Amino acid sequence: MNVAVCLLAVVACASFFSFPVQAEEREDYESDARYAEGQPPAIPHPFRDTADGKYCLRCHGTGLNGAPLSPHPVRITCTECHVKGEIKKHTRENKIKTKD
């Protein structure tokens, strides 16, 4: 798994640094799809939509409460992609207050 991840990252970086701003692009959609993001997981718990990522990253940036780590903590507009899903469990309320 780790090897695959590294490989993907290398492929991704290589193509990003040679990113053509104004050029004919290649047509290998399958290989593009391989390193493209898929559908972001829905949010299975109640949350506060703070629009600055702070509420979400408190756990998803640290692994607190067993939360899956965000692979892209620099993206802070979380609910732009992650839709509120079926509520399966209630997360523990954060002890640390986030500023709204």
Partner 1 sequence: MGGLSRRDFLKASAAAAAFAAAGASAAASLRPKDASASEGDIRWGKAPCRFCGTGCGVLIGVRDGRIVATKGDPQAPVNKGLNCIKGYFLSKILYGTDRLTKPLIRKGDTMVEASWDEAMTLIAGKFKESIDKHGPDSVAMYGSGQWTVFEGYAASKLFKGGIGTNNVEPNARLCMASSVTGFMSTFGGDEPMGCFDDLDLGDTFFLWGANMAECHPVLFSRMIDNRLRNPQVKIIDFATRYTRTSQMADQYVKFNPQTDLALLNAIAHVIIRDKLYDEQFIKDHVVFKRGKENIGYGLEDKFKFADEPKLIGFDEYKAFLKPYTPEYVAKLSSVPAKTIVELAHLYADKSRKVNSLWTMGFNQHTRGTWVNNLAYNVHLLTSKICKPGENPMSLTGQPSACGTTREVGTFTHRLPADMVVMNPEHREKAARIWGIDPKKIPAKPTYNATEMFRALDRGDIKVVWIQVTNPFQSLPNLSRYRKGARKGDGRFIVVSDIYPTRSTELADVILPSACWIEKEGMFGNAERRTQHWFKQIDPPGEARNDLWQTIELAKRLGYGSLFPYTYPEKEIWEEYRKFGEGQGKDLAPYESYTKARGLCWPVVNGKETTYRYVEGFDPYVKAGEGIKFYKNKADHYKAVVWARPYEPAPEVPDRHYPFWLCTGRVLEHWHTGTMTGRVPEIMRANPSAVCEMHPVDAGRLGIKDHQKVKITSRRGTIILPVNLNGRGKAEKGNIFVAFFDEGKLINELCLDAYCPISGEPDYKKCAVKIEKA
Contact footprint for partner 1 (CB under 8 A): 4-5, 8-9, 11-13, 15-17, 19, 21-22, 24-27, 29-30, 32-42, 49-52, 71-72, 74-77, 79-86
Q: How far apart are CA 43 and CA 83, in angstroms?
A: 6
SS3 59: helix
State the nearest-atom distance from the C-beta of 38 to partner 1, in Å: 4
Task: Identify which of residues 23 and 96 has a Cβ nearer to partner 1 in the complex.
Answer: 23
Helices (H) and strands (E) counted in the chain, each on its own, are 3, 0
CB atoms within 10 A of CB 12: 13
State the nearest-atom distance from the C-beta of 96 to partner 1, in Å: 20
